[in-house]
Each structure stands twice: as structure tokens, then as C-alpha cells.
Amino acid sequence: MDARGNVPERPASFENGQDIRDLAFDYACSVVGFCEVLMAQGGLGRLMVPQLLNCSLSFATMLEEARAAESDADFISKCCIGLKECRESWTRMRVCGRRKIGPREGSHRLIEEGNELIAIVSAIIRNKKRNVAAKNRRLREEKERAGAAQRQAPGHEFRLPNS
């Protein structure tokens, strides 16, 4: 809460990927605004609203779910699903732009934002996969070294004293 008693919409820092989640949230809010215009204009644009809303909101939601992933594989999976939703949203916005459905400047701005988000999330997934592979390689090498050391250690025979 700030000095005026307002509750901030996001944490004060951008730790743990908060900035990409904020960008996804802002994108979803912008798409909602675009869809409000489509609904008011009626016609074919009105038919596109439900699916455009679903994929745009799902993108932001999946990135939030990825934050609470139970494993690296779960994180990657949720990010990949979010990326698919973002690509769907971006494609639907491109259709709106090309067919001049809805406000032109709004669709072009959202197409650019969607393209940037796709690039960012793709990089996050690529980097996470690379980091997980490196971690798994290190663990495998450590396990192999430990096994080799154990095989090379001299065996000890148990003897009773004075026997």
C-alpha cells in the first residue's frame, strides 16, 4: 500500500519474470479494449471476440501459472502453452488488421506487441531448456564420477579382532 492507501497492481520489483507477466497482462487488457470496440461495431468483428478474448487471456494466465510451476518441466510446459495462446492471439489480430476489422491503429499496435511477446516468451523457453539440459548434464557427470570413485575405492574386509 502506498502513502495514499492505494494497493499497487504489481510487486515493486521485477524479480522472477514479473515484467513479462506484466506485459502479458497489459496485452490482455489492451485486447479486451479492442474487443469492446469490435462488439460495439457489430458485424463480423463481433464473431471474432470470444476466441480473441480466450486466447489473449489464456496467454497471460498461463504465464502466471508458470510462476507456480512444480518443476522445470512444468514451467516449460506452461510457458509453451502460453506461447501457443499468444501465437493464436497474434494470428487473430493479424486477420483483424488485414481485413480492417476494428480500429486500424489498435490492431497494428497489438500485432506488434504480440510479435514482441512471442519473441520474449520463445527466448525464455529456449533459455530454460538450455539451462535444464546443462543442469542435467552436470548431475549426470557428478553421478558418473561418484560411481567411478566408488568402483576404484579399495574394498575393506571385516575381521574380528584376534581371529
Q: What is the pLDDT of residues 91-137, one digit of tens each?
A: 999 999 999 999 999 999 999 999 999 999 999 999 999 999 999 99
How many domains are there within the chain? 1
In a domain, 72, yes or no: yes
- Reported as a single tens digit per residue, the pLDDT across 20-66 is 999 999 999 999 999 999 999 999 999 999 999 999 999 999 999 99
- The answer to whether residues 121 and 82 touch, using CB atoms and an 8 Å cutoff, is yes
Segments forming the whole domain that contains residue 57: 16-150
> What is the distance between the alpha carbons of residues 108 and 42, in angstroms, rounded to a whole number?
20
**Where residue 70 sits, what CATH number does that domain have?**
1.20.1440.60
52 SS3 class: helix
What is the pLDDT, as a whole number, of residue 5? 60
CA 134 to each of CA 38, 76, 81, 131, 139: distance values in angstroms, whole numbers, following the listed order: 47, 15, 23, 5, 9
DSSP state at residue 160: -
Buried b (16+ CB within 10 A) or exposed e, 117-138: bbebbeebbeebeeeeeeeeee
157 falls within a domain: no
Q: pTM, whole model, 2 decimals?
A: 0.78
Structural contact between residues 27 and 59, judged by C-beta atoms closer than 8 angstroms: yes
Of 37, 55, 54, 59, the closest CA to residue 46 belongs to 37
Q: How confident is the model at residue 14 (pLDDT cuts 50, 70, 90)?
A: very low
Residue 160 lies in a domain: no
